[in-house]
Structure 1
Amino acid sequence: MIKFAAIAFFVSFFLNLLIIFLAKKYKTFLTDHLHMGPQSFHLSPTPRVGGLAIFSGITLALISAYLFKNLLKVSFSSNFPLLVLFSFPAFLAGFLEDLSGKLHPKIRMIFLILSALLVFKFLEVKIIRVDIAFFDSLLKIEVISLLFTAFALVGIANAINIIDGFNGLASMVSMMIFMAIAFVAYKLGDYEITSICVVASFSLLGFFLLNYPFGLIFLGDGGAYFTGFLIGVASVLLVKKHPQVSAWFAFTVNLYPVYETLFSIYRKRILRKRSAMSPDGLHFHMLIYKIFIKRLFNIYSPEIRNPLTSVFLWVINALAIVPALLFWNNIKILIVCCIFFCILYTYLYWKILKLKKINLK
């Protein structure tokens, strides 16, 4: 497994280096002028196609693992080439947006749904239980399982994209989630899911070292969608294949990006009467950057506040990851942990908002 993780890391790292070089030397991959908005915080033009390197690293590593799986010295039935193929529309949806800035959100959604339908149909990536009796009965109906699975996979892909606002934020959060899933999968002897998660983590690490703290390259929508989609696939497969794993583990381990997304929808649609897809500058991580870090540390330099914001949110993410790891098979405790996290997140959000006296209505 380490051999293939190393492939993912080095391909990602050196391809990202190449993209950075081309951007600086020949102004290639610089599309910042197409993506300016309330969520733009960097000062100099920066390539936003780090997802291309991450996708390439994961693809080469997983296909190599498939071709030379005897080197892993473990027995499992691998569908790695199909996983890469079926995940490609999810990556492409974001990558085209990164290059053009003109791909309509509905078109991107169609690409993501296509990837979800493909893995459901051909790779048996299905949500068959949520550990709530009534809903578990409904999920026995194929079409309901299909709709809920597609909703979950598209949702987590968008959730990772939403939190991708500062250097190292989305990539580190994703690595933490992947490694938590890998830990439980390895503990249960599931080397296929473990391999997916470890390879993805190392490919993200190759990007992270160049993205944090100075933001030499950005993840982009392609990287965020693809990473989130793979997280969703690994989460769903782990729960489906192993009845001893609580479905609430999958929810808890993804809680920070998922709750950020749900809260954002509530804030935009209910409080502000706006489209849920419209960008704004009031995400939790933006308030941390604009208000909390500035007041707590009395730091006004964007170059310092940007990476510091990510550190604070890594800690927030850990408040969900650690309980998920400790109680991965305990439904009741995980539910309590989810409730506590949501209350804490909401309290902090409104507390920070009041510091600036911002009215959402």
Structure 2
Amino acid sequence: MKHFLISFIISFIINFLIIKLAKRINKLITDHLHHGPQKFHVRPTPRLGGVGIYLAFLFMSLYGFAFNLETKYSFIMLIVSSFLVFLSGILEDITKSLQPKIRLIFMAIGAGLAYFLLDTKIIRLDIPYIDIIIAIPIISFIFTIFAIVGLTNAINIIDGFNGLAGGVSIMIFLAIAYIAYQTNDQFVLLASFVMIGAILGFFVFNYPYGLIFLGDGGAYFIGFVMAVLSILLVKNHNQVSAWFPVMVAIYPIYETLFSIYRRKFLKKTYSMAPDSMHLHSIFYKTIVKKLLGTHNPIYRNPATSPLVWGLNSLGIIPAVFFYNNTPILIISVLIFIFIYTKIYFSIIKSKLPKNI
């Protein structure tokens, strides 16, 4: 598909230029501002991979080939809605000074714009009686904002290793594209492939060697678009279960919810405080370390991502095969939650190494 190819080329060129310019312009590298428990790299690296992804999507929004007027309008409204979301992430990447509350406000404004400009609304959950409540406009609005902001942050939370967030996101957008094809939704289909191409243009530099990172700007933009397209699929096509978006993105969603629970109730700390106890971090510290040894950090980083991609597929596969079957999707969500939680606590109880 030419939209995919053009998006890939634009993203590839921009990310290549950022990597080259970063070697000459020190301000493009802000590693000194981003110290924290989730930092697993040593080489100074630009965190502006989201710029290439966003600009590729922007170009396709303005100059999309063979787009009809309705599709072109939807693309432009999506890029308008996502601007503040992307901007908040980029400002954080460059300055590390934008407070979390400000970023959440920007995300909420972006979600509100998507609600009104794109008619992105959650109007059903496919649960008897609950659907009556969720159909109330003010309830629908609040729940939609919450869902979009939640998934926007979720992609950022799983962005811990080379190729992790990018690979997971490509898998999710492929699933969304497949369902869009099944339902003949041209906008969601095209937007998904444009996103896949743009992410791949970044991915080839990010994985396996981490020449450039996604950054908050890239993660926020990807999560925002993912949320909007998922909601639109459900709203515009009754045959798509309201649990499809939950199942297809269950890994980042549950990673986020579990992290909040773990920090607030198990560790008694601030629920949004960053730490190094995410499941992907645990994989890195235990399974990958045991397989590759303690003296291979360059290889341990990218070796972690395929393990998470495999876990993510446990959400993707049932979402694709049973996108129109709510009972099976609900059961699949519960099975994933059980598997994730079982894996996590099994590793924790086996005692983590002390020298990590």
TM over 0.5: yes
Equivalent residue letter for 1:57: A
Equivalent residues of 1:158, 1:225 under 8 A apart = yes
Alignment of 1:183-332 (within 5 A): 183-298=178-293, 300-332=295-327
Q: CA deviation at 1:272?
A: 1.0
The equivalent position to 1:347 in structure 2, one of 317, 342, 347, is 342
Aligned-residue Cα RMSD (Å) equals: 1.6
Moved more, 26-35 or 252-261: 26-35
Q: CA deviation at 1:142?
A: 0.7
Q: Which runs of 4+ in 1 moved over 4 A?
A: 74-77
Equivalent residues of 2:53, 2:199 under 8 A apart = yes
Question: For the residues of structure 2 that align with 1:227 and 1:311, how far apart are their CA atoms?
Answer: 20
5+ long unaligned stretches in structure 2: none
Equivalent residues of 2:259, 2:271 under 8 A apart = yes
Equivalent residue letter for 2:259: S
The equivalent position to 2:106 in structure 1, one of 99, 103, 111, is 111
Partner residue of 1:26?
Answer: 25
Equivalent residues of 2:292, 2:300 under 8 A apart = no
Moved more, 300-309 or 74-83: 74-83
Question: For the residues of structure 1 that align with 2:206 and 2:307, how far apart are their CA atoms?
Answer: 17
1:125 maps onto 2:125 in alignment: no
1:7 maps onto 2:6 in alignment: yes
Partner residue of 1:51?
Answer: 50
Alpha carbons of structure 1 residues 37 and 76: separation in structure 2 relative to 1, 3 Å: closer
Equivalent residue letter for 1:155: G
Per-residue CA distance 1:295-351 (angstroms, 9 max, x = gap): 244454111111110010000000110111111111111111111111000010011
Alpha carbons of structure 1 residues 22 and 127: separation in structure 2 relative to 1, 3 Å: same
Question: For the residues of structure 2 that align with 1:143 and 1:100, how far apart are their CA atoms?
Answer: 36
Question: For the residues of structure 2 that align with 1:354 and 1:296, how far apart are their CA atoms?
Answer: 19
Question: For the residues of structure 2 that align with 1:69 and 1:339, how far apart are their CA atoms?
Answer: 40
Equivalent residues of 2:286, 2:352 under 8 A apart = no
Equivalent residues of 1:4, 1:64 under 8 A apart = no
Equivalent residue letter for 1:30: I
Aligned-partner SS, 2:24:
helix
Question: For the residues of structure 1 that align with 2:160 and 2:119, how far apart are their CA atoms?
Answer: 33
1:61 maps onto 2:56 in alignment: no
User: Aligned residues: percent identity?
Assistant: 49
Equivalent residue letter for 1:21: K
Question: For the residues of structure 2 that align with 1:237 and 1:96, how far apart are their CA atoms?
Answer: 29
Equivalent residues of 2:285, 2:352 under 8 A apart = no
Equivalent residue letter for 2:341: T
Equivalent residues of 1:90, 1:115 under 8 A apart = yes
Equivalent residue letter for 1:14: I
Equivalent residue letter for 1:51: G
Q: CA deviation at 1:134?
A: 2.3
Per-residue CA distance 1:65-102 (angstroms, 9 max, x = gap): 2x7425xxx98574211110111011011100000011
Q: TM-score by structure 2 length?
A: 0.96
Question: For the residues of structure 2 that align with 1:122 and 1:147, how far apart are their CA atoms?
Answer: 16
Equivalent residues of 1:291, 1:355 under 8 A apart = no
How many aligned positions are there? 354
Question: For the residues of structure 2 that align with 1:149 and 1:75, how far apart are their CA atoms?
Answer: 23
The equivalent position to 1:79 in structure 2, one of 59, 71, 74, is 74
Per-residue CA distance 1:255-307 (angstroms, 9 max, x = gap): 00000000000001111111111111101110000112112444541111111
5+ long unaligned stretches in structure 1: none
Equivalent residue letter for 2:149: V
Question: For the residues of structure 2 that align with 1:3 and 1:279, how far apart are their CA atoms?
Answer: 40
Equivalent residues of 1:4, 1:62 under 8 A apart = no
Alpha carbons of structure 1 residues 281 and 68: separation in structure 2 relative to 1, 3 Å: same
Q: CA deviation at 1:203?
A: 0.2
